Amino acid sequence: MAEFTMELNDEQKEVRDWLHGFAADVIRPAAAEWDEREETPWPVIQEAAKVGIYSLDFYAQQYFDATGLGIPMAMEELFWGDAGIALSIVGTGLAAVGVLANGTEEQIGTWIPQMYGDADDVKVAAFCSSEPDAGSDVASMRTRAVYDEAKDEWVINGTKTWATNGGIANVHVVVAVVDPELGSKGHASFIVPPNTPGLAQGQKFKKHGIRASHTAEVILDNVRVPGSCLLGGKEKLDERLARAREKAKKGGERVKNAAMATFEASRPAVGAMAVGTARAAYEVALDYAGTREQFGRPIIDNQGVAFQLADMRTQIDAARLLVWRASWMAVNGKPFTAAEGSMSKLFASETAKKVTAQAIQILGGNGYTREYPVERMHRDAAIYTIFEGTSEIQRLVIARTISGMPIR
């Protein structure tokens, strides 16, 4: 077990500086263009693939970093560059985590490489959980998977929404109901391979922020996938469902569902994304406050501005520490006895919204224009309190965890 530390080692610092350079030289100069175009920035993703950032090997190295700091460090630097483009680069990771959290070794080895492709033929993947009537309330999920024993195939029908890379992905990971009577405990995750008949992109959403990241509905109409595409395998699923039925009869403890396992693993990473966006806005505001003069002196000489910057920096550092703690705990098998993963996402995402709003205020009229990046950063920051569990859901998870109440 790695000791918890707030100091990056030399190798981590080297990776951080490399990522920061890519974010500064490649991502940030392209940010405004792709935000306006509201399209997937394939050239930037391909450039990330060429240098090794968009690759299974890179994310595996960070994911298995014994300190737990590899992923949050990478997320912070990339999202410091731009949230929309960075999400296009890392969005595949959520689907990969879904396979890592629920799949067998064979499934991991087979499907995750196909999610990324290679530098000459870049691919993306999508994790499909939310539905039009089931976002935070995963128990209301309606997408159904029915087993066809004669053909050893699963037949999936339903509509998913808010799917990053939905419809344009090479591989889709779909969460579906296999036993409606068990509610959220009756869910399972499935791989939908490339070019599977019946899967189609629905509405592509035009969003307030992260506009360079593709978000769309995914329609599943009698989609048939082989039995081998059930993550974890049928034997494991049958055992889990049997335990859930028995505990339901006894009113016993909860069983973790497939979507929740993925979100628990990814929440600190989302917190790190928020830290990156907040830090970027803070740095713009700090630089502006030191050079912008009013009444014959830099505006940072005014306490009203200086105190805002002091609070911004304090909140960013506090958010990073919560993210690092949760990431270290997750990698080292420490249970989130006080919902530390949700704490990190909650505080970091709320900090990003607040800090980016303060940055606009410090820049005044300039901050409200697209000539400066803080208005885009503020639009981007709004998503952190919504996706992968709203702030309200994080508070609910924290409250129920510390009180001993069940999390449904």
Residue in the block written with tokens 């960070």: 62
Return phi, psi of residue 404, to 5°: 85, 5
**C-alpha to C-alpha distance for 343 and 399, rounded to whole angstroms:** 10
How far does Cα 116 stand from its chain's mean position?
A: 16
Among 301, 296, 232, 274, residue whose Cα is nearest residue 387: 274
Q: If DSSP states are collapsed to H, E and C, what string results for 99-155?
A: HHHHCCHHHHHHHHHHHHEECCEECCEEEECCECCECCCHHHCCCEEEEECCCCEEE
Q: Contact, 142 vs 133, CB < 8 A?
A: yes
Among 96, 100, 175, residue whose Cα is nearest residue 131: 175
Instruction: Provide Rg for the chain, Cα atoms.
Output: 22
List alpha helices for 137-230, DSSP H: none
Residue 30: other Cβ atoms inside 10 A: 18
Among 151, 157, 147, 152, residue whose Cα is nearest residue 179: 147
- The tokens describing 102, both together, are 């629920």
Residue 358: other Cβ atoms inside 10 A: 23
Q: Contact, 397 vs 342, CB < 8 A?
A: yes
Examine the residue annotation and report whether 36 is marked as an active-site residue of this protein.
Answer: no
The one catalytic residue among 264, 340, 375, 388: 388
**C-alpha to C-alpha distance for 137 and 140, rounded to whole angstroms:** 6
**C-alpha to C-alpha distance for 212 and 383, rounded to whole angstroms:** 13
Q: Contact, 48 vs 92, CB < 8 A?
A: no
Residue 167, phi-psi category: left (phi > 0), alpha (psi -120 to 50), beta (remainder): left
Among 330, 374, 324, 328, residue whose Cα is nearest residue 352: 374
At 401, which helix (H) or strand (E)? helix 391-403
So which residues are the catalytic ones?
388
